[in-house]
């Protein structure tokens, strides 16, 4: 009898739990949207409404530096007549996978607008998957004040002399360091590799890890190598697209990375940018070379224990005087096989993502593409100075070849990982990486 009573009450608890969750569903669906950028975004859309109802699908991964612009498009233009906007929530690898499938298949693309950065843009443009926008840019130059967009931003979305995307931001890898620790040790922000190593040595014992980098061997390790390769004056490819990184500069750069690893957490080779940012936020790291878009969260008291204690400087320079950081530009491109009129799509993207209010609202997490916002002192952020110096100092984007990310990345990374951890000597690793990449490029017809 008693066991019967017990089982009934248990069942009742389970049922109640289920009900609460079910009610939660209703509550969740009933309430409206509370995003901070909603206001600016909802006024932004300035598009000639299409005659027929159109649905526009946007493919963009979710990240602090991308969300404000995706939101601006979706929320801004959903109010326009005859337009429905959908955004697919995905992560970055999901975006790449879906973009390749959508743009590379026959028939109308399920996605009309696709988020791109330098390397993906070049790949899609070279394959003819995205539409050139030069005509629309000149037609709408005045209406959307496109002359205000910075040269670096346009350069990042140009391939073979044509513009293939509407850029919304410039990003660059800067040095973010713990001002308080540096001051206590009498250090100043390192400007060269040697100073970086010296500072890291001095921070040893003062903080859990003197240094941290996003060197995940499944992704960003190649970006790390790119920084040190460029800083040493090396390059990835020859003019005929054959690999050129198995060079004295490449070996030097990789040796330098190997020299930095002892100052970093053990699991560095599994780190993405988020991990490095998280370590910074928890005050476990003395300094990091990381994307400037991560600066604001590191300085946010709601998320960070070191808010107000961090300084920003350009990435340390190598032999060639170039900072060991990478530049990138993000923007939205228009699928060539979209069923929607490309001119409408261009208007949607340009009027929202380049809207001054949207750009100003996003300035905390990005360096906006608009010069007028970059020069607006009321929008200025503490990390912008370092970013400007980095860019002016010649920090380089990944080479504009159509096989950089993810192809080169996924072929070369395993060898870089082996070299940095000492599983392979540096020269052997680079030789093998170069040979493997050469073979893959030949196989896939990128080399003659």
Residues in 155-214 that interact with other proteins by CB under 8 A: 208-209
In the bound state with other proteins, the residue whose beta carbon lies nearer, of 98 and 202, is 98
Binding part of the chain for other proteins, among 161-169, 191-199, 249-257, 413-421 by CB under 8 A, reads: 413-421
In the bound state with other proteins, the residue whose beta carbon lies nearer, of 231 and 441, is 441
Residue 222 binds other proteins, judged by CB under 8 A:
no
CA dist 350 and 357 (Å) reads 13
Residue 18 binds other proteins, judged by CB under 8 A:
yes
In the bound state with other proteins, the residue whose beta carbon lies nearer, of 21 and 378, is 21
C-alpha dist (Å) from residue 324 to 168, 203, 232, 319, 392: 24, 21, 8, 10, 13
In the bound state with other proteins, the residue whose beta carbon lies nearer, of 33 and 378, is 33
In the bound state with other proteins, the residue whose beta carbon lies nearer, of 302 and 378, is 302
Binders in 287-346 for other proteins, by CB under 8 A: 297, 301-305
Find the binder of other proteins among 40, 44, 80, 103 (CB under 8 A). 103
Phi, psi at residue 319, to the nearest 5°?
Answer: -50, -40
* Cβ at position 428, least distance to other proteins in Å: 14
* Cβ at position 281, least distance to other proteins in Å: 7
Binding part of the chain for other proteins, among 31-39, 173-181, 197-205, 383-391 by CB under 8 A, reads: 31-39
Residue 87 binds other proteins, judged by CB under 8 A:
yes
Contact map string, positions 245 to 284, toward other proteins, x by CB under 8 A = --------------------xxx-xx-xxxx-xxx-xx-x
* Cβ at position 78, least distance to other proteins in Å: 13
Contact map string, positions 50 to 69, toward other proteins, x by CB under 8 A = -------x---xxxx-----
């Amino acid at each position: 009898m008693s066991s019967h009573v017990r089982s009934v009450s248990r069942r009742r608890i389970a049922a109640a739990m289920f009900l609460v969750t079910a009610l939660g569903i209703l509550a969740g669906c009933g309430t409206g949207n509370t995003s901070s950028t909603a206001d600016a975004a909802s006024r932004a859309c300035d598009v000639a409404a299409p005659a027929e109802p159109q649905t526009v699908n946007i493919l963009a991964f979710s990240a602090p530096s991308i969300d404000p612009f995706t939101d601006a498009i979706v929320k801004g233009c959903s109010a326009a007549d005859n337009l429905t906007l959908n955004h697919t929530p995905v992560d970055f690898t999901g975006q790449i996978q879906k973009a390749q499938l959508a743009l590379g298949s026959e028939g109308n693309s399920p996605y009309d607008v696709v988020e791109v950065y330098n390397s993906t843009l070049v790949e899609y443009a070279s394959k003819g998957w995205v539409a050139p926008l030069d005509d629309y840019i000149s037609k709408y130059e005045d209406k959307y004040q496109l002359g205000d967009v910075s040269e670096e931003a346009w350069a990042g979305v140009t391939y073979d002399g044509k513009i293939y995307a509407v850029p919304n931001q410039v990003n660059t890898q800067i040095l973010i360091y713990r001002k308080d620790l540096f001051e206590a040790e009498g250090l100043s922000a390192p400007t060269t590799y040697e100073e970086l190593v010296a500072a890291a040595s001095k921070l040893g014992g003062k903080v859990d890890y003197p240094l941290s980098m996003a060197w995940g061997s499944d992704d960003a390790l190649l970006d790390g190598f790119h920084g040190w390769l460029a800083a040493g004056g090396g390059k990835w490819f020859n003019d005929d697209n054959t690999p050129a990184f198995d060079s004295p500069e490449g070996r030097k750069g990789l040796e330098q990375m190997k020299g930095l690893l002892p100052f970093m957490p053990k699991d560095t080779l599994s780190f993405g940018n988020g991990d490095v940012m998280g370590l910074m936020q928890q005050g476990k790291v003395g300094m990091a070379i990381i994307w400037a878009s991560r600066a604001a969260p590191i300085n946010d008291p709601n998320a960070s224990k070191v808010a107000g204690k961090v300084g920003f400087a350009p990435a340390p320079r190598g032999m060639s005087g170039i900072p060991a950081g990478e530049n990138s530009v993000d923007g939205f491109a228009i699928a060539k096989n979209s069923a929607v009129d490309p001119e409408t799509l261009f208007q949607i993207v340009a009027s929202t993502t380049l809207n001054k209010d949207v750009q100003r609202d996003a300035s905390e997490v990005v360096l906006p593409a608009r010069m007028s916002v970059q020069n607006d002192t009321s929008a200025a952020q503490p990390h912008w100075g370092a970013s400007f110096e980095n860019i002016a100092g010649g920090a380089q984007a990944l080479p504009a070849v159509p096989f950089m990310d993810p192809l080169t990345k996924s072929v070369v990374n395993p060898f870089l990982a082996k070299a940095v951890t000492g599983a392979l000597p540096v020269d052997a690793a680079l030789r093998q990486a170069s040979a493997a990449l050469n073979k893959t490029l030949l196989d896939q017809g990128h080399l003659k």
